Structure 1
């Protein structure tokens, strides 16, 4: 079995000195058997029932060999183990393995003593009584006729088993004496087990204990009330016979004082009994209350722990989402800046198509910094023209944060010739109102040529497009502020 359980290849691996000795003892016990045939031996002993005479009798070997055969009864325990439901049930074996319980004969006997202690103890005592009586008769029947009767042997075993020992029948041989001693030891153990089983059966259950404590508490409460009433009564009687009478009777006063003291002692005794009852009741109910309290505390802690874990998971998810958004933020900012720059470029091209056409007509070598050159050329050309003393509408409008539309301001000779300023039906002519805002074709051509020259110079000095755009924005803002502050005759003002 050990080889099968441990998948061993050689049987000598499973053999230890303990297993070898156990197997040897079992083989020896099972090998004892009566020999076929009739063989006798002379058995000499001292007869205690006949005045100490020495007697010899021829006894067959079967008597000697049949007594050790009762040692085979150990196989009953093994049969109980192998046929037990606890041993054959797979679920019970699994639970026992998880709890490190070894399913052996001792565990099975403990289980049976817990389930049906009275039945197990009764079967064991009756079996021991019958076996001991038969073996005592076998040892004593050849030397004394009184022991030849099985009932006398059973009487002797019963008296010895109960530790009484009348002494009317005594064993003669050492075999019988040994059986009597073994019976006395077994009787002491069985008596202790019987007392334990009976005391367990007589013990009150939890419900019965609660009822008993309630009844005792009610009785003690009544006794306490009676004792308190007796104290008050005797106090009143003592006061009555000492203060409210004309003539004090000492004998009656002493009687009431004696009863007063007895009532006080009775009151103290009842209070002590109540205290003891409360202590006993606390020992009964404390375990249940403690268990309920501990269960509630553990449940509360488990609920709080679950809520804390959920909050931690939520915080972790939020932090993860925030980290992802922070990781995507630089790309989004870069994309937004690029879209903003593209939209600004499209807006400039839409608002100033002539400038866009002029920039697109420039050489391809200057195409890398178109936006920067555009901003610089516009800023420098317009501010330079203003410094020269010309009052052109584009120069005054460049200082404004909103650039004027190209269709609203004439900015080319063709535009001047094809689309003149419309005549207002309400206001006087433009030349009489603001003569300095009337565009001049020749001056604007000269200004455009100067802007193209300055644009080429700025393109040669500009390193990158982003720096040109930044410089354009800064210069345009500063120039616009300066121009607006210095001139009050701009079209917007």
Structure 2
């Protein structure tokens, strides 16, 4: 800024200017002492000019410039923009320090605090702009990243769960066939690996739910993540952690339970390894397979399908995905589900009964028992001897009843005709019934003519009553056949109407809507014309008094102009 001569203004204005320049130069000297850069010559010049511009903008914004410096004054908004531009042009490593020092020294030059508000408003504007950018494009990218990470975590969790179940089955099988004992090193190693996979699985499940919370925060634009922690979510997390934490512990541990003695048919107490209690619940980890199916489903990953579901208020959860799979591949899903249940129930029954029942120690016998229980047959040649085995049998019976109902529903759906097949069938039946109707009507007319012929066109003595009665019976039978054909046609028409009702209703609704739109457009045009006419009529009514007054004045002038000569002539004559 060029210094003006003292003669241009008062001493007060000139001292304010000198004070502003001295303060800005002192700030530049102090900053240059504390912060050193590689290229001092370039940054120093830029730094001093920037501070000088900031000092000038602060003085102009606060109104401390005198009357003689009007050429330097600008509107407040422009000074705010130039101040923000000056701050933006400063070196990046000095921005925060300079703004802080300026805000600290503003009260010395600006008692009203207006310049401080300029800097604060500029910072708020910058923060709001960055937050707007953060919430516009950043959320979509953030959500995509979190969804991909969630999918990977779910895959790793499912893999660890399956590895743990496989290790548990291997350890139990070795123990059942007496290859490994609970005191041997092999059993300790396998159970330690199961414990390790369980710990990793619990960590992955915790990470998965943390990502779920982050996705909730991103989707709902929430700042505090604790808002997403509802009681339902907390209960779900705790239940998953408890289910996945159950596993057999290393070492020989036994407990006692009651078994049925076949010889005496009494319940006796026997010792069993605790692995039975802690190994079998590990099959509940298979719910992670359903989660992986959900996250890898095209319905869940496709943005268009999710948008359509959101518009129709449909939640893409596990139940919806299973329904779609059941509708698309009903036979495959049912077969896989049934076979999986048979194998799991058979192995669980064998694990419960192998310690006391030699017959069910064989896996084939366990499969046979589960199959006949699953199908609700129950021959009674094999029975479980423990409460654990009986519980498994009850569960297999319940699941078998549900699967049987699903099989019946799938078969009925497969045997049902499609819409095109129904249309073809209805068309063929309509043609057949029309032919039958014509034949029945022709039979009625023929028998009527024969009855008339053998009763009215012959002589009374040649009348054959037996033949007449036979034709009367055929006549009644033809009428009955005609009525049956008409009833069948009516039923077929009702079935065809049930197929085409929806299409007809849709077309009629569309026609009604189009007619309503046309009528609305015509009414709007009429209302607009009426409004224009009313406005023009109002304008004419407003002009009417003036027109009437003007007409009256014109009439008066004409009458006075016509009467005045006659009056003047009479006056002259007088």
Q: TM-score range by the shorter chain?
A: 0.5 to 0.7
Alignment pair present for 1:192 and 2:431: no
Which of 444, 466, 479 is the equivalent residue of 1:251? 466
Q: State how 1:284-299 maps to structure 2 within 5 Å.
A: 284-299=499-514
Hey, what does 1:153 align to over in structure 2? Answer: 366
Structure with greater helix percent? 2
Structure 1: 5+ residue stretches without partners: 338-466, 488-493
Hey, what does 1:31 align to over in structure 2? Answer: 245
Shift of 1:124: 1.8
Structure 2: 5+ residue stretches without partners: 1-211
Secondary structure (helix, strand or coil) at the match of 2:251 reads: coil
Secondary structure (helix, strand or coil) at the match of 1:45 reads: strand
Which of 485, 489, 503 is the equivalent residue of 1:274? 489
Return the alpha-carbon distance in structure 2 between the equivalents of residues 481 and 78 of structure 1: 116
User: Does the C-alpha gap of structure 1 residues 62 and 261 become closer, same or farther in structure 2, counting only changes over 3 Å?
Assistant: same
Q: State how 1:29-428 maps to structure 2 within 5 Å.
A: 29-48=243-262, 52=265, 58-243=271-456, 244=458, 246-313=461-528, 316=531
Instruction: Provide Cα deviations, 1:180-207, integer angstroms capped at 9, x if missing partner.
Output: 1111111111222222222222222222
Return the alpha-carbon distance in structure 1 between the equivalents of residues 475 and 557 of structure 2: 116
Q: Is the 8 A contact 1:47 1:54 kept in 2?
A: yes
Return the alpha-carbon distance in structure 1 between the equivalents of residues 537 and 314 of structure 2: 53
Return the alpha-carbon distance in structure 1 between the equivalents of residues 555 and 486 of structure 2: 99
Shift of 1:46: 1.0
Hey, what does 1:345 align to over in structure 2? Answer: none
Q: Is the 8 A contact 1:47 1:143 kept in 2?
A: no
Question: Alignment length, in residue pairs?
Answer: 355
Shift of 1:154: 1.6
User: Does the C-alpha gap of structure 1 residues 325 and 78 become closer, same or farther in structure 2, counting only changes over 3 Å?
Assistant: farther
Q: Which has the higher contact order (CA 8 A, sep 6+)?
A: 1
Shift of 1:95: 3.8
Q: Is the 8 A contact 1:57 1:142 kept in 2?
A: no
Return the alpha-carbon distance in structure 1 between the equivalents of residues 273 and 232 of structure 2: 36
Query: Which structure's CA Rg is the greater one?
Result: 1
TM-score by length of 1: 0.61
Instruction: Provide Cα deviations, 1:342-384, integer angstroms capped at 9, x if missing partner.
Output: xxxxxxxxxxxxxxxxxxxxxxxxxxxxxxxxxxxxxxxxxxx
Shift of 1:33: 0.7
Between stretches 199-208 and 267-276, larger displacement belongs to 199-208
Secondary structure (helix, strand or coil) at the match of 2:323 reads: helix
Return the alpha-carbon distance in structure 1 between the equivalents of residues 536 and 213 of structure 2: 60
Shift of 1:105: 2.2
Shift of 1:68: 0.9
User: Does the C-alpha gap of structure 1 residues 83 and 234 become closer, same or farther in structure 2, counting only changes over 3 Å?
Assistant: same
Instruction: Provide Cα deviations, 1:327-346, integer angstroms capped at 9, x if missing partner.
Output: 9x79x99xxx9xxxxxxxxx
Hey, what does 1:366 align to over in structure 2? Answer: none
User: Does the C-alpha gap of structure 1 residues 109 and 320 become closer, same or farther in structure 2, counting only changes over 3 Å?
Assistant: farther
Secondary structure (helix, strand or coil) at the match of 1:59 reads: strand
